[in-house]
Amino acid sequence: MNNYAFIDGTNLHLSTKYLGWSIDWQVFREYLARRHRVTQAYYFVGYSSQQMSLYNNLSSYGYKLIHRSLLRLPDGSVKGDCDTELVLHAMIQYYNYDKAVIVTGDGDMACLVEYLDSISKFKLVIACKPDSCSHLMRKASGDNIMYVDYLRERFEKK
């Protein structure tokens, strides 16, 4: 099997942060390779020069980073939404993988999961936890969903 993971980095990071813990990205990458036979893991995130250490670490763990410029909102906050890039890369890479692992609980990705499932290219959704995962995503993925919060002991950064 040659599976690819498409990871909404901001979604997973903020979801675990909200729950009071941080994910160990190296352990998570090793898990993806071992358990789900992920050979390529694309990590989508808004770009900030202040996060270079994180980006370097992620790259050293085997993630392929896809950045999007951050948008500064009128209230001063920033947004680095990478949904479109994730969907686009899942389709660009379509012929290169057997199955896709989609890592997000965002309902905007439900259409991608439905399509990949309809052509036998979908393996699994990995979301943070059930009540933070969109109903649309839970419905689209059916039984092929897991939650990292249930494996917190394994993935929590020490």
Give tens-digit pLDDT for 9-34: 888 888 888 888 889 999 999 999 99
Q: Write out pLDDT tens, residues 143-154.
A: 999 998 888 888
Architecture in CATH of 3-155: 3-Layer(aba) Sandwich (3.40)
Question: Which contacts qualify for 131-135: CB closer than 8 Å, 24 or more apart?
Answer: 132/15, 132/18, 132/105, 133/105, 134/105, 134/106, 134/107, 134/110, 135/107
Q: What DSSP letter does each residue of 107-138 carry, written as one string?
A: GGGHHHHHHHHHTT-EEEEEES-GGGS-HHHH
- Domain coordinates of the chain in residue numbers? 3-155
Give the whole-angstrom CA distance, residue 52 versus residue 14: 18
**What local confidence, expressed as pLDDT, does residue 14 receive?**
80
Asked whether 46 and 73 are in contact (CB, 8 A), the reply is no
Question: What is the CA angle 74-80-81, rounded to 5?
Answer: 110
Low-confidence ranges of the chain (pLDDT < 70): 69-73, 76-81
Closest to 83 in 3D by CA, of 107, 59, 55: 107
Its pTM stands at: 0.91
